[in-house]
Amino acid sequence: MVTVLTGTGLAAEVAAIRQTSTSMQDFRTGVHRIGIHLAVEASKHLPGRSTTVQTPLAPAEATMVDGDVILLPVLRAGLGLLDAFLQVMPYASVGFAGLRRNEETLEPTEYYRRFPDSTSNTTFIIIDPMLATAGSMIATLSMLKDLPHRSIMAACLIAAPEGVEALTAAHPDVPLFIASLDDHLNEMGFIVPGLGDAGDRLFGTT
Ligand code: PRP
């Protein structure tokens, strides 16, 4: 259920945002462009239904997205991917999960939650640039457990193997799309080689 996106164009974008010398402005636009790749990939896996549309010439067999989509950016860094996903899925509603990882225990603490109403035909897509221990992703998934839904997907820019393993062990049924599978997590819980702290680099904090 884990898809690592491939392609030279995407790889070059990932290389650019990794670099320390990349400015906040270029980091933000790079994350946005990688978000487009992730959103297009996720859009391929949305539930579809067959229908017919009328062109100026003839009826055409067509596919529509079945049900509704709720995007869930994990605050803060998930906001960096939100516009890209909305560009690809302009029909989506947006919920917010505010989580902050305690840098000593690496456990996420929730500080905000606001989701649109879902139904048994809703697809949730959780978006967050980083999957390190996967604690934040697993905490977000647990918020959805008792909400009506049809399916859940997750999209991250960079993941550590340790996080992928933890996520797939806890939620083997949740497809995960990532732009890069990195080498490992260090003792501080940072992805190596990674790109540093995505939230800080997106929003100018240190
Ligand atoms: C970072 C990142 C993820 C999380 C990943 O956010 O954006 O949400 O940590 O780590 P995990 O997989 O070990 O849970 P952080 O908590 O630093 O908050 P921020 O987005 O406000 O920077």
Q: Residue 194's pLDDT is what?
A: 98
Residue 54 lies in a domain: no
∠81-135-177 over CA atoms, to 5°? Answer: 40
Tokens of 74: 């994990």
Residue of 136, 164, 188 to test ligand 1 pocket, by largest number of atoms within 8 Å of CB: 136
Closest C-alpha to ligand 1, atom 2: 130
Q: Residue 103's pLDDT is what?
A: 84
CB of 166 within 6 A of ligand 1: the answer is no
d(CA 141, CA 149): 12
CB of 139 within 6 A of ligand 1: the answer is no
Residue 38 lies in a domain: yes
Residue 183 lies in a domain: yes
Tell which atom from ligand 1 comes closest to the C-alpha of 135.
Answer: 14
**Of 169, 191, 167, which Cα lies nearest the Cα of 177?**
167
Dist. CA 141 → ligand 1 center (Å): 15
CB of 73 within 6 A of ligand 1: the answer is no
CB of 158 within 6 A of ligand 1: the answer is no
Contact assessment for residue 35 and residue 17, using Cβ atoms and an 8 Å cutoff: no
Residue 119 lies in a domain: yes
Residue 199 lies in a domain: yes
CB of 106 within 6 A of ligand 1: the answer is yes
CATH of the domain at 104: 3.40.50.2020
Residue 175 lies in a domain: yes
Its domain, for residue 96, covers: 2-44+69-203
d(CA 202, CA 194): 14
Residue 74 lies in a domain: yes
CB of 133 within 6 A of ligand 1: the answer is yes
**Of 174, 155, 149, 175, which Cα lies nearest the Cα of 39?**
155
Q: What is the pLDDT along the chain (206 residues), one digit of tens a residue?
A: 899 999 999 999 999 999 999 999 999 999 999 999 999 999 999 999 999 999 999 999 999 999 999 999 999 999 999 999 999 999 999 999 999 999 889 999 999 999 999 999 999 999 999 999 999 999 999 999 899 999 999 999 999 999 999 999 999 999 999 999 999 999 999 999 999 999 999 999 98
Residue 52 lies in a domain: no
Q: Which residues of 35-60 are buried (b: 16+ CB within 10 A; e: fewer)?
A: bbbbbbbbbeebeeeeeeeeeeeeee
Domain count, the chain: 1
Q: Residue 206's pLDDT is what?
A: 86
